[in-house]
Structures are given as C-alpha cells and as structure tokens.
Amino acid sequence: MLRVVVLLLMMAAACAPADARRRQINPVPFAHTPCSVLDEQPCTPSFCSVYGPWPCIPEVNYPYGQNLQLTIESRPPKDQAAKYQKPDHDLDTIGDLFAQLRSCWAPPPDDSARAGMQMTVRFSFKRTGEMIAPPRLTFATSGVSADTRSTYLKAINASLDACLPLKFTAGLGGALAGRPIAIRYVDNRDLKTTSQQQ
C-alpha cells in the first residue's frame, strides 16, 4: 500500500507543469499581496511550512512598537551634548521631541539628590502639545527612601510642566496623540558632597 502511495506521488510530481516545478525550486520573492491559484502570474503564498520542499523564512510586516522610550541623563556624555539642546523651531520629528524633553530636565539639587538614582515615568500627549494626564511612575531604584522618590518625582513633574505645552507641527501632533512615552531619568552626576539617601 505504501509503495502505491509513493508511486502515485512521484507520478503527480512528474506530471506537474514545468513552471510550477520551477517556482518550487526557485520561489519568487514575497509580493506582500494576496495570492490566489486564479492569478495569471506566479505568486508566493504568505505562509511558510516545515513541509515545504525548500527552506523558507516567513515574511511578515512586523509593526513598529507603539511605545516611545527615551533615557535622559543628568550629566549627558560630551559626544551627545547636541541631543540635549532645545530645538529652535516647532517640533516636527521624534528626534526634535526627544531633544526638547532632554533640554527640559532639571535634576534635584545636589544636597537632596542621590547618585545613580533612576526613575521612569510614562505619559501621553494631546495633539496640542499638552499632557493627557500627569506622568505615572513606573519604576524607581530599589532601596531608596520615599522622600528621595518624592524629590525626584517632583523634579520630573516640574521639568515637564516648565516645557508645556510643546509646539508640535500638525503632522507630529497627529502622529503622537495618545501614544505612550516612557522616559527613564538617570542621575549620573558625581555627587560627592551629597548625603546619599537610602
């Protein structure tokens, strides 16, 4: 019985049109369009199977993440100083937005700061450049006191409030409206005279 099945499969493969066999050996690139057996042109199906006669990698248009992430350091590296300068025009790109947010940051004074402190907040903008709601704290360095967390959160809120409303172009405002933005603030200053609050 098995021999009969194998023989029938071999005969079907031999009878297949030469064009179809050629497509199996050298598949055409994925056209990113629906594929149908009724099409006159050769097409590649949008799925990939381990049972196919050739190695394949599925081609999927993976979407970009909806979460914009940014790290802001209290003392920027010298080679990145330009990224911390406020743009002199309406914000038109994500790079402009990030530069504006970096330029707004004013860390707490040395006597109430903690070296190495990290804090992350998340928020979204309206298309008008205003925040939809106050920033929400999503991360803070473990082991620090509530007073230190409160000091940094106040500094973050004050820095953002001083910048608002941001001046978006119509295109950027429409693209950013409602999208979450996560900013990680890192206090990398050398705070020798500070009381290292725990």
Domains and CATH numbers, the chain: 17-62 (no CATH), 68-186 (3.30.1150)
Neighbours of 165 (CB within 10 A): 11
- Class of residue 55 by CB neighbours under 10 A (exposed 0-12, middle 13-18, buried 19+): exposed
Residues 44, 157 contacting (CB under 8 angstroms): no
Tens-digit pLDDT profile for residues 149-160: 999 999 999 999
Amino acid at 29: P
Tens-digit pLDDT profile for residues 40-96: 665 555 555 556 665 554 444 434 445 689 999 999 988 888 899 999 999 999 999
Q: What is residue 110's three-state secondary structure?
A: helix
Question: Which ranges constitute the DSSP H helices of the chain?
Answer: 2-15, 18-25, 94-104, 146-163, 170-176
DSSP 108: P
* Reported pTM: 0.64
